[in-house]
Amino acid sequence: MLTFCLFNSLAQAAYERNQAVPVEKVLYGTIESVRHVSEKQLVEDSHSGWKTFGGALIGGVIGHQFGGGSGQDVATVLGALIGGGLGSQHGQSAYYLENKLVELMITQEDGSQVMVIQDLDPGMSFNAGDEVRVVYLTGYVRVDLAM
């Protein structure tokens, strides 16, 4: 039986040392394969609305400096539109955040196989053949080297 468990960066131990976390079960097993993977997450700028508004405000103020009468009103509106467009274009910035993960294929002591993808912990290196402990906690699974 193959079970697939995928956990993002929020799947780290979300508790302090003095807090109890319910454990559903603990199984021991052997790592069959290890693969290092990365997950790219698109992060969008959440302040783009303010940049658009600021650009429109500055463009309107600059446009208001030109002309007179109805020409000044037209220059103000055009300045606000151009400034808002530039602010919006600048505000649509996004970048990719890369999360380093490790994919572990494990044969558990009961004969079942499980694949767990978890955050890469530089302090815990996994290799094929390692004995591990698969800890099933409420809502997620965590793999550690067996002690």
Cβ(137)–Cβ(23) below 8 Å: yes
Residue 5: per-residue pLDDT:
45
Residue 99: per-residue pLDDT:
80
Beta-carbon contacts of residue 99 (< 8 Å; ≥ 6 apart) = 8, 9, 38, 39, 40, 41, 119
Give, in order, the Cα–Cα distances in Å from 100 to each of 37, 83, 117, 121, 145: 6, 39, 10, 9, 19
Tell whether the model's pLDDT for residue 8 goes beyond 70: no
Residue 108: per-residue pLDDT:
94
Does the pTM exceed 0.75?
no
Q: Which of 37-41, 97-101, 102-106, 118-122 has the highest mean pLDDT?
A: 102-106
Tell whether the model's pLDDT for residue 73 goes beyond 60: yes
- Give CA–CA dist 48/91, Å, rounded: 4
* pLDDT tens profile 9-64: 334 445 555 566 778 889 999 999 998 887 775 555 555 566 676 777 777 777 77
